[in-house]
Chain A
Amino acid sequence: MAQSIAKEFTKGLWTEIAPFRIVLGLCPILAVTNTVENGIGMGLATTFVLVFSNFFVSLFRNSIPAKVRIPCFIVIIATFVTIVELLMQAYTYPLFLKLGIFIPLIVVNCIVLGRAEAFASKNAPHLSIADGLGMGIGFTFSLAVLSAVREIFGTGAITFYETPIVLFGPSFEPFTFMVEAPGAFVCLGLLLCIMNLIPKK
């Protein structure tokens, strides 16, 4: 049993890492990865929603009729998204200001509904939590990697809580394209390409 929990947890970290292996959740990964701070914040918020929605969906999976399962999942997910939004507003307000409109969009993030539908509605709660946690951490990791690439090349530094860690000297001229929207597409494409060159195992 411990083995299967570990298996469900680790698959989200590499073999099924979103969005590089399962191409889901592209909206946030394109929208908020201009800084590492935003990327990780978004990833953690998604992880939170993912774990709890997975848990509750899994808990009620036997009592939810199949015909209304999607509305039920959406209600559960939306509840946790609102909770995240309120909590972020209350405790990490500057981050909330930055992620602003993207937080409510977690509801329609394919990963969350995708895991609820594909995994949590068919598996026991403890496995679902492991799955959600693994997927969420993997997603956070992906967002962090992509946003790190973009922020480093785009600004020459990584900024955490307004303290920049300068990685290149003053002679570095920022590749501004990378932090702009088209840069996200190109960068994501190149990372997807590299991930496909690396074998799964």
Chain B
Amino acid sequence: MREMIKMVMVLTIITAVSGGILSVLKTSTEEKIESQVLKFQKAPAIGAIFDTATNDPLKERFKIPTKVKDKDIEITFFPAVLEDGSKAVAFEAKGAGFGGDVGLMVGIDLETDKIIKARVTTHSETPGIGSRVKDDATYVSQFTGMGFDATFKLKNNGGDIDALSGATVTSKGVSVAAAQVKKLYLKLKPQILNKMK
């Protein structure tokens, strides 16, 4: 009995200490990580999407709180004014891929409601197979010019998205992310316009 108690105690203490340390570390590095993520992940994607932006979308970013599946989250939006004067916004959504979530950054023209460009930001897909969705820009270029009347599903599921050969699960994750973008955009468009005034 005593041994039992000791076992439980030791395990509890160790896990508690470990949890404490980790939570402290997590909060203290959160900001740094976010800036790193912005710098290395979002920035290249934003740069690629808004290659003709006249402003700095990273700096002007704003957050809108919303609910996704009954969970409160904040979504970061990157507004941009393009060379031709049109206003656009970019934000990221996630879909489950093969190794974890696949992040898809989508830039949307606010006037025409059409996708300017899309880029994959983060993923944990198998190198050489699923990772091609990020490395190979020709795959995500199929989103360019799509409107929100399109169905963001894979073609063999009756949608409009081509699958990347050999990486169906990853492609599915990308299409789920795109569908999420559509949903969020349609829901949050008034607030976005409001913020961007």
Instruction: Please report A residues at the B interface, Cβ cutoff 8 Å.
Output: 60, 63-65, 67-68, 71-72, 75-76, 78-79, 82-83, 86-87, 89-91, 93-94, 97, 100-101
**Considering only CB atoms, which chain A residue lies closest to B19 in the complex?**
A79
Shortest Cβ distance from residue A120 to the other chain B in the assembled complex, whole angstroms: 15
Judge whether B21 is part of the interface by a CB distance below 8 angstroms. yes
Contact B33 A79, beta carbon cutoff 8 Å = no
A91 to B35, CA, bound (A): 10
Q: Shortest distance in angstroms between A79's beta carbon and chain B's nearest beta carbon?
A: 4
Q: Which residue of A lies closest to B99 (CB)?
A: A101
Considering the complex of A and B, which 6 residue pairs feature the smallest CB-CB distances, nearest first?
A: A79-B18, A93-B36, A90-B32, A90-B29, A93-B40, A101-B124
Contact assessment for B37 and A68 in the assembled complex, using a CB-CB cutoff below 8 Å:
no
Query: In the complex where A72-B14, A93-B36 touch, is A65 in contact with B6 (Cβ < 8 A)?
Result: yes
| Residue contact A83 to B22, C-beta cutoff 8 Å | yes
Chain A residues positioned under 8 Å from B15 (CB to CB):
75
CB distance from B111 to the nearest CB of A (A): 35
B22 neighbours in A (Cβ, 8 Å): 79, 82-83, 86
B residues at A contact (CB < 8 Å): 3, 6-7, 10-11, 14-15, 18, 21-22, 25-26, 29, 32-33, 36-37, 39-41, 99-100, 124
Asked if residues B18 and A78 are in contact (CB atoms below 8 Å), the reply is: yes
Are B29 and A87 closer than 8 Å at their CB atoms? yes
Q: How far is the CB of A90 from chain B (nearest CB, A)?
A: 4
Question: A97 contacts which of B6, B40, B99 (Cβ < 8 Å)?
Answer: B40
Q: Can you list 24 residue pairs at the A/B interface with Cβ under 8 Å? A: A60-B10, A63-B10, A64-B10, A65-B6, A65-B10, A67-B3, A67-B7, A68-B7, A71-B11, A75-B14, A79-B18, A83-B21, A83-B22, A86-B22, A86-B25, A86-B33, A87-B29, A89-B33, A89-B36, A90-B33, A91-B32, A93-B36, A93-B40, A94-B40
Considering residues A63, A64, A76, A90, which has the most beta carbons from chain B within 10 angstroms of its beta carbon? A90
CB distance from B124 to the nearest CB of A (A): 5
Question: Shortest beta-carbon distance, B33 to chain A, in Å?
Answer: 5
Of chain B, the residue at the smallest CB distance from A68 is B7
Look across to chain A and name the residue whose beta carbon is closest to the beta carbon of B37: A93
Bound form: Cα–Cα A68–B32 in Å: 36
Q: Can you name 6 extra interface pairs (CB under 8 A) apart from A75-B14, A91-B36?
A: A75-B18, A76-B18, A82-B22, A89-B36, A90-B36, A93-B33
Could you say which of A68, A83, A86, A100 contacts B11, with CB atoms under 8 Å apart? A68
Q: CA A40 – CA B39 in complex, angstroms? A: 24
Q: How far is the CB of B53 from chain A (nearest CB, A)?
A: 23
The distance in angstroms between the C-alpha atoms of A63 and B6, with both chains bound, is 9
- Which chain A residues border B39 with CB–CB below 8 Å? 93
In the assembled complex, the Cα of A60 lies from the Cα of B13 at a distance in Å of: 12
Closest to A63 in B: B10
Flag if A100 contacts B29 (CB, 8 Å): no
CB distance from B94 to the nearest CB of A (A): 16
Separation of A79 and B15 alpha carbons in the complex (Å): 9
Cα–Cα distance between A87 and B124 once the two chains are bound (Å): 18
Q: Is B40 touching A65 in the complex (CB atoms < 8 A)?
A: no
In whole angstroms, how far apart are the Cα atoms of A83 and B26 in the complex? 9
Chain A residue with minimal CB distance to B32?
Answer: A90
Give the chain A neighbours of B10 by CB distance below 8 A. Answer: 60, 63-65, 68, 72
- Quote the shortest CB–CB distance from A123 to chain B (angstroms): 19
